[in-house]
Amino acid sequence: MEGGDLGHGIELSADATERMMSFVEDAYPYFRSITGEGVRQTLRRASEITPVELVEVPSGTPVLDWTVPDEWIVREAYVVAPDGTRLFDVADHNLHLLGYSVPFRGTLPLDELKEHLYTDPELPDLIPNRSSFYVPRWGFCAAHRQVEALRPGAYEVVVDTELVPGSLTYGEIVVPGEEADEVLISTHVDHPSLANDNLTGIAVAAEVARTIATTRHRYTYRFVFVPSVIGAITWLARNPDVVPRVRCGLVITGLGDSGAFVYKRSRRGATLIDRVAEVVVGRSPGAELIDWYPFGYDERQYCSPGFDLAVGRLSRTLHGTFPEYHTSGDDLSFVDAGQVAAAAQMVLDVLGAVDANDTYRNLRPYGEPRLGPHGLLNRVGGGGATAAYEQALFWVLSLSDGDHDLVAIAQASGLAMATIVEAAGRLLDAGLIGPDDGAGGSVPG
Ligand code: ZN
């Protein structure tokens, strides 16, 4: 099934929003962590959008400077108050249990219990998301107001968990293109019941993969669904043959809140993906482009100086700058379907621009060619789009000197990348520009 040329602009299908949102709703309660059944369950549910291959890497496997951890199994976890009330039950909200809690059973006085309770006094009604992946600990996370109201007495604690040799699970979708060179799209899969920070990235990645599979495209598109940090490190450690083929990429996350787009540049800062983001993301209302810094999501791993990949990050409101971040406030009501759909379209537009970008050479560079006789002025449609297209013809002819690629022309002209791509396609068909193979340009006798 061919749905057109990715490089010439692909519209998200009409049922995409419904597909992505029903995934977000279904996967919200799944019990995710950096390992365990919740990740598998989430990836299997994402496979209903488009098939995701699950890869299992055994606990104890050395990966770069790290080791794949034991798998975390949670059966039940709660506290019983002196009056018999059950508190902080993980069955009620999976943020209640400190991530990677070690097993514990016992009865404790309130003061001792409180050493194991995590709250955020500044957001007294929300449950914070906390984990202790690499230091063995048990604990519960709860609304500060609830913990403040606890009365002294004996509290019974049940943390029925297990840390056992198992595996780390990540997911992968490869959509082969005409070339072996790849574009990498990465999103994290380890956050428990957090809707925006986790599930929107997975939904958009799967839907974009599904869409690209129906198009003609140049690059091979690889989508990876990894637990934060350790998952990206594991993927990088296991794919030394793929890494050199990665032309550029994007980490996607937090795409469903009400904010405008934020693009974070790769470490190198002026790579293909950064330049594309400038002309595609940067022109959407309110968008912000920010420079690299070594914190955040898995761009930290892809852009570490040894790999130094051209990977940027697309999100909406920056993590850590809104109160719902990493709390029970990041629930389904925090995610807007229209924002998720617009984000999937934005990712498609960015990848389309990457796919279409090329450097051409004007084959009739002496004076302007007459466009009418070359059949270039018969564009279907009219009005502003046609005016922009006609301007784009002149911009492409003028700057196709072997030094400017189409992104540079979109940048210089202020015209939409899609318009520049359309004009370049028509000029190529008319034989007025050619691939920049060093052979272009004929000097008149
Ligand atoms: Zn997060």
pLDDT, tens digit, 9 for 90 and up, residues 159-213: 999 999 999 999 999 999 999 999 999 999 999 999 999 999 999 999 999 999 9
* Together in a domain, 44 and 183: yes
235 part of a folded domain: yes
Q: From ligand 1's centre to the CA of 140, what distance in Å?
A: 18
Strand-strand pairing, 359-362 and 401-405: antiparallel
Q: How far apart are the CA of 110 and the centre of ligand 1, in A? A: 30
| Ligand 1: centre distance to CA 296 (Å) | 8
* C-alpha–C-alpha distance, residues 288 and 272, integer Å: 18
The SS3 assignment for 252 reads: strand
pLDDT digit string, tens, across residues 288-332: 999 999 999 999 999 999 999 999 999 999 988 889 999 999 999
Total domains in the fold of the chain = 3
**How many helices and strands (H and E) does the chain possess?**
12, 19
Q: Is residue 445 part of a domain?
A: no
Q: Ligand 1: distance of its center to the CA of 354 in Å?
A: 27
How far is 198 from 51, CA to CA, in rounded Å?
19
Please tell me the distance between residue 312's alpha carbon and the centre of ligand 1 in angstroms: 17
CA of residue 253 to ligand 1 center, whole Å: 9
Which amino acid type is present at position 18? E
- Of the pLDDT bands very low, low, confident and very high (cuts 50, 70, 90), residue 2 is low
Give Cβ neighbours of residue 225 (< 8 Å, ≥ 6 apart).
43, 46, 52, 170, 171, 172, 186, 187, 188, 189, 202, 205
Structural domain of residue 95, as residue ranges?
Answer: 72-164
DSSP codes of every residue in 287-329: -EEE---S-SSTHHHHTSTTT---EEEEESSPTTSSTTTTBTT
Both 285 and 199 in a single domain? Answer: yes
pLDDT band at residue 1 under the 50/70/90 scheme? very low
CA of 116 to the centre of ligand 1 (A): 22
CA of 44 to the centre of ligand 1 (A): 21
Question: Cα of 17 to ligand 1 centre, how many Å?
Answer: 23
Claim to verify: residue 323 and residue 374 sit in the same structural domain: no
Does the pLDDT value for residue 84 go beyond 60? yes
Q: Report CA(254)–ligand 1 centroid distance (Å).
A: 8
Residue 40 pLDDT level (bands cut at 50, 70, 90) = very high
320 beta partners: none
Q: How far is the CA of 227 from the centre of ligand 1 (A)?
A: 11
Domain co-membership, 206 together with 312: yes
Helix, strand, coil share (%) of the chain residues, nearest 5: 30, 25, 45
Query: Do 85 and 174 share a structural domain?
Result: no
Chosen domain end from 149, 164, 179: 164
Span from the CA of 191 to the centroid of ligand 1 (angstroms): 7
Residue 443 has a pLDDT of: 45
Q: What is the Å distance from ligand 1's center to 192 Cα?
A: 10
Dihedral of CA atoms 81, 86, 91, 97 in degrees, nearest 10, equals: -10
Q: What is the pLDDT of residue 60?
A: 98
**In the beta sheet, which residues pair with residue 252?**
314
Look up residue 254 and give its two tokens: 């937090």
Helices 337-356, 417-429: axis angle to 10 degrees equals 30
pLDDT at 381 over 80: no
In the reported structure, the alpha carbon of residue 163 is separated from the centroid of ligand 1 by a whole-number distance in angstroms of 23
| Residue 282 lies inside a defined structural domain of this protein | yes
> Distance from the CA of 347 to the center of ligand 1, in angstroms?
20
